[in-house]
Structure 1
């Protein structure tokens, strides 16, 4: 007799269904966000009814998400967890750029990779420790670096576990987060004001590959929350200038 903790026995058809589901997942990875059920069905030579059942299953389990226009699919939150982020130390020249910025400002300066669907700090400021790295990776919506990453996604829900509230200032509704990410996409500057810690805030800009504009990293300044709300133009210009210097070094 099977106990509640025992895995359910596999029937003869289940291994084949598992393989088909994994093939669908791989096809979404290969084709990229927006691939349709019809395209997946044709590529894998699966009956459309089977493809739709597998897609619905993978969406229900959060390995895939439907895009807002309902015309295609993208990887979901749980799929992002299948790949371990590869943490590679930035080159010496890039660290020198970050250190140069630290010498010009009194704020904390942090550099993070934004690959593998999460924020990975690779050069946190030793004199101004950032928020816990695991917290930044787990709740990207509550950090400026995380919002850079989310603003690049076809649907931010693919990478957000839940809209956890940390302080009274934390953005905690889908509408408010969508509006915040729209602002990031519009002006290329992300910010959070007292959302992880009431007394601290952060602004960040993306570091993009010179050739294709791909987002590869984020450069952030952390400081008093009240100053983050309205950072002076000179400070933002310094941040953007150093992000531009980093681009050919990190791409």
Structure 2
């Protein structure tokens, strides 16, 4: 395999300029124009436009609907470390109520950062490492909820990795995500850990129904694979209760 081409003398300067443009958009806020960025950074307008077009193409920036200004894009959010915020007391009470009704672990995750971020993991049934869930969303039920919402889920799957003999390869993930969309729930059975499966339902904002979080239950893989009609109903009921509290 051929390695990456060595950097030329001009490339480090171009990288620094692109990062400076990103920093200026952060500092100036949504709607900053190319002319304003060019003036603030003392860059030629042609160079500024070239860098902006590149950053838009790579989804680090997006053009506002009026085409006059720019704001941060989807990929720029991934440059910052996810901020784990504690859910409000009322939301934690809803999750605790569900924990009192089932024997398995119950976990609450936020999708606000574009990643799976556990904000209320079950202390009595510790979940898998949160960093793994964020890095490999394709092998967790919560991660599949997030992937199923994406126009192009491949952008969030950084690398393929088989954790167990049951891990579904990326080639088969498209069909799995179609099932998630159709059923309104996600499931994985022994794909991340051979002794653990997970069932998750989405939590959506009451207004626009955008995906803001996920509620999951974890237990033995063979039990998670069952229809679990009553458990799904409990999950969906508590997800509806959580929606106005987390929106």
Match of 2:70 in 1: none
Residues 77-156 of structure 1: pairs in structure 2 closer than 5 A: 79-156=76-153
Structure 1 CA distance, aligned partners of 2:218 and 2:198? 4
State the shift of 1:21 in Å. Answer: 7.4
Could you tell me whether the CA contact under 8 Å between 2:18 and 2:51 is conserved in 1? no
Match of 2:193 in 1: 197
The superposition leaves residues 171-205 of structure 1 with CA deviations (integer Å, 9 ceiling, x where unpaired) of 1123x111111111112101111000112100000
Residues 61-72 of structure 1: pairs in structure 2 closer than 5 A: none
Structure 1 CA distance, aligned partners of 2:125 and 2:19? 48
Match of 1:72 in 2: none
Q: With the length of structure 1 as denominator, give the TM-score of the two structures.
A: 0.74
Question: How many residues matched?
Answer: 216
Residues 104 and 154 of structure 1: CA distance in aligned 2, closer, same or farther (over 3 Å): same
State the shift of 1:14 in Å. Answer: 3.4
Match of 2:41 in 1: none
Residues 92 and 171 of structure 1: CA distance in aligned 2, closer, same or farther (over 3 Å): same
State the shift of 1:249 in Å. Answer: 0.8
Structure 1 CA distance, aligned partners of 2:165 and 2:123? 28
Structure 2 CA distance, aligned partners of 1:230 and 1:112? 23
Structure 2 CA distance, aligned partners of 1:126 and 1:21? 43
Match of 1:70 in 2: none
Q: Say whether residues 1:158 and 2:155 are aligned partners.
A: yes
State the shift of 1:158 in Å. Answer: 1.3
Structure 1 CA distance, aligned partners of 2:16 and 2:194? 51
Which one of the candidate residues 228, 231, 250 is aligned to 2:246? 250
State the shift of 1:89 in Å. Answer: 0.2
Structure 2 CA distance, aligned partners of 1:198 and 1:13? 48
Q: Say whether residues 1:184 and 2:180 are aligned partners.
A: yes
Could you tell me whether the CA contact under 8 Å between 1:80 and 1:159 is conserved in 2? no
Q: RMSD of the TM alignment (CA)? A: 3.5
Residues 162 and 13 of structure 1: CA distance in aligned 2, closer, same or farther (over 3 Å): closer
Structure 2 CA distance, aligned partners of 1:195 and 1:134? 16
Structure 1 CA distance, aligned partners of 2:12 and 2:167? 49
Which one of the candidate residues 208, 211, 216 is aligned to 2:212? 216
State the shift of 1:100 in Å. Answer: 0.5
Q: With the length of structure 2 as denominator, give the TM-score of the two structures.
A: 0.75
Structure 2: stretches of 5+ with no match in the other structure: 1-5, 39-44, 62-72
Q: Say whether residues 1:172 and 2:166 are aligned partners.
A: no
